[in-house]
Chains A and B, each alone.
Chain A
């Protein structure tokens, strides 16, 4: 009885092994099922989702103008103190003072890509970009100033 059970189990094990190997063989011979992407080699054709959160950027238009009013909503919303806004006061032609950003400092090394700053921005001045290859040799290069030199706030944005 014991020998009979033993032989039965051995045959059962071989059978289930064969079942598993059949599936492995199926995928081995069906190249269409392969979904592996050869990442560093396919950079030219790499498609990322448009909402993918890789880095905070401030879009500028062709006149080197942005939409940031310097209200610091993103700075308050950020959980890691990633954003620091340094404001200045522009003197308008009629003598009035107007608040504007001097520097929008963004610490990429502290950022966790949670997207709360973009959510908080009332004028949609910042957005998340798709870039994700952030490796550098010196971490000081990760502290970025998002507003371009000489840029101004777009007309009509309050």
Chain B
């Protein structure tokens, strides 16, 4: 209540530039618990007020785009699990979709259902992990364990069907790699029921907490115009009231047949982005609930040639990951490997808005604002 959050709304209160030496430059990262990875922020401070933030990237650059140029259209999908490792299913999905678009393969209905269920489970797991990590950034340690316990249930389902917990590589061009495990439906239904109760617990534990709300309200303001001009997507933009859900605007697979709402908040602050993600978990549970009893019988993989060759041309596909819009752009020369691949990752654009969001506020608010961006550093660097 004694916090000076008004400063954010009045950029003119930032002290005018002083002589060199009166500003303090500090480094957050590359190894810092609050940055969730090797993100390096060079922060210029005047007292406790942030003057400028400069992210230094490249600590985990693995040149995934260049690597993909030497891999075939079946092989390059597994590398993309390593970009945004918390929504690896959705990354793989985007790559599979763009290859199918080039080959003009019809994906069987069963495979489409399985893919969408897996996507939404991944989104729930990703948002859960974010919730725990976000609360831990603000100093609450218990929510971290709550979140990881719930996420563990999803990981077990993934492990049983896909064979891995984090880098699944379950999508192949034309469908999915193996059929669902016999226990899948029963376990997922139990998970959905448990999750609704857990979400109420989470609201009680963190969302309703006054200390938490005071740290989030009015922090990291990002107006709708700025969200658009910085290219923000996903929950970051939707927290500012920008409608940008790719599942609604450019529906892929069976998303146009599903009943779900695009969550929009107009608060523009950290609390709005927090609320968007928690409500999105409920929407994802709703989607899984609709699909889990109606998975059609049939093939889980379309028949494709042993060696895939995309026709000459350019192909683009966008999907909605847990962090925002992921675009995969392939230039093909007609060979077995792509000529050029470009990934438009959501984390990079969202990070670029950080300087604007926290300029003029206190350094303590930086962590609260950065936490709601849900940064995954390998996704930013690739």
Listed in ascending order, the chain A residues whose CB lies under 8 Å from chain B are 5-6, 9, 12-13, 15-17, 19-20, 23-24, 35, 48-53, 77-79, 112-116, 119, 128
Contact A79 B211, CB 8 Å, known A35-B152, A51-B178:
no
Q: Assuming A114-B169, A119-B177, is B78 touching A23 (CB within 8 A)? A: no
Q: Give the distance in Å from the alpha carbon of A114 to the alpha carbon of B79 in the complex.
A: 9
Chain B contact residues, majority secondary structure: helix
Q: Is the CB of A115 within 8 A of B163?
A: yes
Which residues in window 88-104 of B have CB below 8 A to A?
A: none
What is the bound-complex CA distance between A115 and B74, given in angstroms? 12
Contact of A13 among B169, B172, B210 (CB under 8 A): B210
Question: Min CB distance, B145 to chain A, in Å?
Answer: 9
Chain A, Cβ-Cβ closest to B145: A27
A79 and B204 form a contact (CB under 8 A) = no
B6 within 8 A of A: no
Contact A49 B160, CB 8 Å, known A9-B1, A116-B78: yes
Report yes or no: B205 in contact with A20, Cβ–Cβ below 8 A.
yes
Report the 3 A-B pairs with minimum CB-CB distance, sorted nearest first. A79-B75, A114-B78, A51-B163
Given known A-B contacts A16-B208, A119-B172, A24 and B163 have beta carbons under 8 A apart: no
Q: Output the nearest chain A residue to B157 by Cβ-Cβ distance.
A: A49
Sampled A-B contacts (11; CB under 8 Å)? A23-B205, A35-B149, A49-B159, A51-B163, A77-B75, A79-B71, A79-B76, A79-B78, A112-B167, A115-B169, A128-B163
**How far is the CB of A31 from the nearest CB of chain B, in Å?**
14
Number of interface residues of B (CB under 8 A): 33
Does B208 contact A77, Cβ atoms closer than 8 Å?
Answer: no
State A56–B181 Cα separation when bound (angstroms): 21
Cα–Cα, bound, A150→B164 (Å):
33
Chain B residue numbers with a CB within 8 Å of A23 are 142, 201, 204-205
Partner of B163, one of A15, A20, A53: A53
With A and B bound together, what is the CA distance between A112 and B85 in angstroms?
14
- Among A19, A77, A112, A114, the residue within 8 A (CB) of B209 is A19
Using known A-B contacts A35-B149, A114-B78, A116-B74, determine if residue A52 contacts B210 with beta carbons closer than 8 Å: no
* A112 contact set on B, CB distance < 8 A: 78, 167
Task: Check B162 for interface membership: any CB of A closer than 8 A.
Answer: yes
Q: Are B78 and A6 in contact (CB under 8 A)?
A: no
When C-beta atoms are compared, the residue in chain B nearest to A122 turns out to be B306
- Is A16 within 8 A of B156, CB to CB? no
Q: A51 touching B160 by the CB < 8 A rule?
A: yes
CA distance A138 to B162 in the complex (A): 31
Are A49 and B210 in contact, CB atoms less than 8 angstroms apart?
no
Given contacts A12-B210, A51-B162, contact A5 B1 (CB under 8 A): yes
Q: Is B161 an interface residue (CB 8 A)?
A: yes
Taken together as a complex, chains A and B put the C-alpha atoms of A147 and B156 apart, in Å, by 32
- In the complex formed, the residue of B with least CB distance to A9 is B1
Collect the chain A residues with CB atoms within 8 Å of residue B71's CB.
79
CB distance from A143 to the nearest CB of B (A): 22
Distance, CA A128 to CA B160, complexed state (A): 13
Interchain CB contact under 8 A, B211 and A16: yes
Complex Cα spacing A20 to B202, Å: 10
- Which chain A residues lie closer than 8 Å to B178 at the CB level? 51
Q: Indicate if the CB atoms of B208 and A19 lie closer than 8 Å.
A: yes
| New contact pairs (14) apart from A51-B178, A112-B167, CB-CB < 8 Å | A13-B210, A16-B212, A17-B209, A23-B204, A49-B163, A51-B162, A53-B164, A77-B75, A78-B75, A79-B71, A79-B78, A79-B79, A113-B164, A116-B74
